[in-house]
Amino acid sequence: MKNNVPRSGGAKSKQLTAYSLETQTESAIDLLKRLIATPSLSREEDRTAQIIEQFFRQRSIPYKRTKNNVWTHNRFFDPAKPTLLLNSHHDTVKPNASWTLDPFQPIEREGKLYGLGSNDAGGCLVSLIGTFCHFYDKKDLAYNIVMAATAEEEISGREGLELILPELPPIDFAIVGEPTQMHLAVAEKGLLVLDCTAKGKSGHAARDEGDNAIYYAIKDIEWLTSNPFPKVSPTLGPVKLSVTIINAGSQHNVVPDTCTFTVDVRATEQYTLEEIIETIRKNIRSTVQPRSIRLKPSSIPLDHPIVLAGIALKRETYGSPTTSDQALLDCPSLKCGPGHSERSHTADEFIYLREIEQGIELYIRMLEQIL
């Protein structure tokens, strides 16, 4: 992937005038500054939700809110038409100790806007909102558009996008705003965390007693690291299993009867999470308990119209190893947004102002080809 987002080539479409792009960009940047200035750590997003509500009210756009999630749909919503979801989150991680700037003070400097959440995922959120506003009152769109600004993404919480999905109309496909330099993450790995327990029998270490649970755990771990899932995703590569925690024993002279270990599984679309769990349970002695099966791998066909629209604008396709709210969706979904993922969760986080303008322009030009 390129390190910088190139300017999109060619003249703007008739629908996307220089005036409308400039207006939406200025509005988006102003909104982002207000969001940065308002702390919105996960589960504490009530005030940024109010700011987003105010944004829609000022434009006479009806909206709904559940907990700290705010969503709306285009003016001429037609239940007979398919529906596109535009989604990004307004919660942030906690600022780390290495910040040299005030993380809640939006600062413009040398074409950058600094502030917590500016890159992940404030720039994406305001660019998608600007895009939604561009299409809001257009008639005869081929798709309905739902815009959802959601909470708790950074902690994979249950009171974010997952909470409101039952309230939304059926979604045919989605664009999830995360910083990708406006390239196209056409697949995303799912996350499965397994807590495993090997059982043996305690005994005195000085005598030939007991049944050492550590030895059983070692055999199971050897199997887990033997490439037990051979199917390889064309975009995400193989399923990746990593044993990240192991605990056993209480003192040096007692053979341990229990050994626990944790497995971090990064799944691809080649296997369901349920298939992975079942295969592991059939092949190891230890008990296997998944913490959750919510964070599924996701993908969108390479010949989907929105992907083809992005490719036509010289956007690159790739598979993402990180998780997002895509994992909660059961429809084809594309992860795409302004900003750079390497800036996420870093000290003195920033987004280039030009990236927001380019994000709105590219979102609109992609959607014009299908709407």
Per-residue pLDDT for 6 more than 70? Answer: no
| Number of folded domains that form the chain | 2
Q: Are residues 40 and 72 in the same domain?
A: yes
Per-residue pLDDT for 308 more than 60? Answer: yes
Looking at the domain assignment, is residue 10 inside a domain? Answer: no
Per-residue pLDDT for 12 more than 70? Answer: no
Q: How far is CA 110 from CA 2, 79, 102, 259, in A?
A: 21, 46, 17, 55
Q: Which two tokens stand for residue 276?
A: 């992975």
Residue 119: CATH number of its domain: 3.40.630.10
Q: List pLDDT tens digits, range 241-260.
A: 999 999 999 999 999 999 99
Looking at the domain assignment, is residue 1 inside a domain? Answer: no
Q: List pLDDT tens digits, range 268-286.
A: 999 999 999 999 999 999 9
Q: Which two tokens stand for residue 262?
A: 């944790």
Q: Mean of the pLDDT values across residues 49-72?
A: 98
Q: Which residues pair with 317 in a beta bridge?
A: 184
Cis peptide before 309 (omega within 30 of 0): no
Instruction: Write out the residue range of the structural domain in which residue 227 sits.
Output: 190-290
Per-residue pLDDT for 72 more than 60? Answer: yes
Query: pLDDT class for 17, splitting at 50, 70, 90?
Result: low
Q: Nearest-CA neighbor of 189 among 229, 149, 221? A: 229
Residue 261 three-state SS: strand
CB atoms within 10 A of CB 210: 16
Looking at the domain assignment, is residue 4 inside a domain? Answer: no
Q: Are residues 200 and 135 in the same domain?
A: no
Residue-level pLDDT at 208: 81
**Spatial CB neighbours of 91, under 8 Å, sequence gap ≥ 6:** 40, 41, 42, 43, 44, 45, 48, 68, 117, 151, 152, 153, 154, 155, 160
Task: Label residues 301-330 b or e (16+ Cβ within 10 Å = b).
Answer: eeebebbebbbebebebebbeebbbbbbbe
Looking at the domain assignment, is residue 308 inside a domain? Answer: yes
pTM across the whole model: 0.87
Q: List pLDDT tens digits, range 118-159.
A: 999 999 999 999 999 999 999 999 999 999 999 999 999 999
Domain end point (choices 290, 322, 339)? 290
Residue 285: CATH number of its domain: 3.30.70.360
Q: Mean of the pLDDT values across residues 70-93?
A: 98
Handedness of CA 175, 177, 183, 185 (dihedral sign): negative
Backbone torsions φ then ψ of 306, nearest 5 degrees: -70, -35
Q: Which two tokens stand for residue 286?
A: 């230890």
Residue-level pLDDT at 330: 92
| CA atoms within 13 Å, Cβ hemisphere of 254 | 10
Q: What percent of the chain has pLDDT over 70?
A: 95
Q: Are residues 165 and 129 in the same domain?
A: yes
Residue-level pLDDT at 20: 83
Query: pLDDT class for 7, splitting at 50, 70, 90?
Result: very low
C-alpha 7 chain-centroid distance: 25
Q: List pLDDT tens digits, range 25-38.
A: 999 999 999 999 99
Query: pLDDT class for 57, splitting at 50, 70, 90?
Result: very high
Q: Where is pLDDT greater, at 285 or 323?
A: 285
Backbone torsions φ then ψ of 125, nearest 5 degrees: -60, -50
Looking at the domain assignment, is residue 9 inside a domain? Answer: no
Please name the amino acid found at residue 220.
D
Q: Are residues 32 and 173 in the same domain?
A: yes
Q: Are residues 148 and 196 in the same domain?
A: no
Q: List pLDDT tens digits, range 178-199.
A: 999 999 999 999 999 999 999 9
Residue-level pLDDT at 8: 38
Looking at the domain assignment, is residue 160 inside a domain? Answer: yes
Q: Are residues 182 and 140 in the same domain?
A: yes
Looking at the domain assignment, is residue 122 inside a domain? Answer: yes
Q: Are residues 36 and 163 in the same domain?
A: yes
Q: DSSP characters for 232-256?
A: -BTTTBS-EEEEEEEEE-SSTTEE-
